[in-house]
Amino acid sequence: MNFIEIVDDTPPLWAKRRAYGELNTCKDVIEYFENVPNKSKGGLPFFNKSRKKVCVTKSFNFSDNNPINASIYTFVNNSLGKYCRKYCDKYDYLNKLNTSSYWRLCPVYNVQKYEEGEGFFSLHNEQSGSYPYRLLAWMVYLNDAKSGTEFPYQEMIVEPKKGRTVIWPAGWTHPHKGVTPNEGIKYIATGWFYTLPAGEPKFDGRHPDEEKITEILV
């Protein structure tokens, strides 16, 4: 058991959810991303320049009224349910953790575009001093691409497949990186699931200075 959950059997894209309306296809999500303003070039250059991530990115919020939230939420919620059921059954402590704190899907998520040769090729994990509450990370591949995501400690490379959702632990056991070289264009949506002790203030799960360190493109 490597704690990496890969889900391809997502709900039909023409299905409807009362809370979110009609779902869009991955193609629609990409088209919306390409046309939305205020995208940023970069990602996370503020910790260590050698770990710089190169991509075009845009942050969204599940609480906003935009046409892509339904699709992304459905992909992630479907996968997250399978992940939690599997591991809560095997590791009862997760159930105890859920009673002493609250678990939450981080409302902020990113859609990212990697051009030919771009990527986050340095080994990294999703939980750090700036993001201590991240429990799980998730990613949805929005198109079929040639270069995937490598988890070297698990001896695993996840191949990009349109609509494929990947969920994994955010901590030090699961560092990962983009497969080099990145061939062609790759689109992903990515975010986090976090836990906070009871009484802690709610927050969006991101570094407070993250908006300040990106270069605005348009």
- For residues 142 and 118, which has the higher predicted lDDT (pLDDT)? 142
Among 154, 146, 127, residue whose Cα is nearest residue 185 = 146
Res 153 pLDDT > 70: yes
Place of tokens 């809370």: 19
Q: For the chain, where are the E strands, in sequence order?
A: 5-7, 16-17, 21-22, 40-41, 56-61, 101-105, 108-114, 134-141, 149-151, 156-158, 165-169, 177-178, 186-197, 215-216
Mean pLDDT of 162-174: 92
Confidence of residue 193 (pLDDT cuts 50, 70, 90): confident
Tokens of 181: 């070289």
CA–CA dist 181, 183 (Å, integer): 6
For the chain, how many residues are written? Answer: 218
- For residues 15 and 5, which has the higher predicted lDDT (pLDDT)? 5
- The domains found in the chain, sorted by start residue, are 5-198 (2.60.120.620)
Contacts of 118 (CB under 8 A, 6+ apart): 54, 55, 182
Could you report the per-residue pLDDT of 41-65, keeping only the tens digit for each?
865 544 444 455 678 999 999 888 8
> pLDDT value at position 113?
93
Q: How far lies 209's CA from each of 140, 151, 203, in Å?
A: 25, 28, 13
Contacts of 124 (CB under 8 A, 6+ apart): 51, 175, 176, 177
Res 160 pLDDT > 90: yes
Average pLDDT, whole number, for the chain? 77
Could you report the per-residue pLDDT of 69-93, keeping only the tens digit for each?
888 888 787 788 778 778 888 888 7
Q: How far lies 88's CA from each of 3, 35, 71, 97, 104, in Å?
A: 12, 40, 26, 10, 16
User: Hey, is 150 helix, strand or coil?
Assistant: strand
> pLDDT value at position 94?
74
The pTM (predicted TM-score) of the whole model is 0.80
Contacts of 5 (CB under 8 A, 6+ apart): 79, 82, 83, 86, 166, 167, 168
DSSP 8-state symbol, 139: E
Res 149 pLDDT > 90: yes
Exposed / middle / buried, residue 132 (Cβ in 10 Å: 0-12, 13-18, 19+): exposed
> pLDDT value at position 170?
93
Res 125 pLDDT > 80: yes
- Radius of gyration of the CA atoms of the chain, in A: 17
* DSSP calls for 12-72: PTT-EETTTEEPPPHHHHHHHHHH-S--EE-S--SS-GGG----EEEEEETTS--TTHHHH
Q: Lowest-confidence range among 75-84, 112-121, 140-149?
A: 75-84
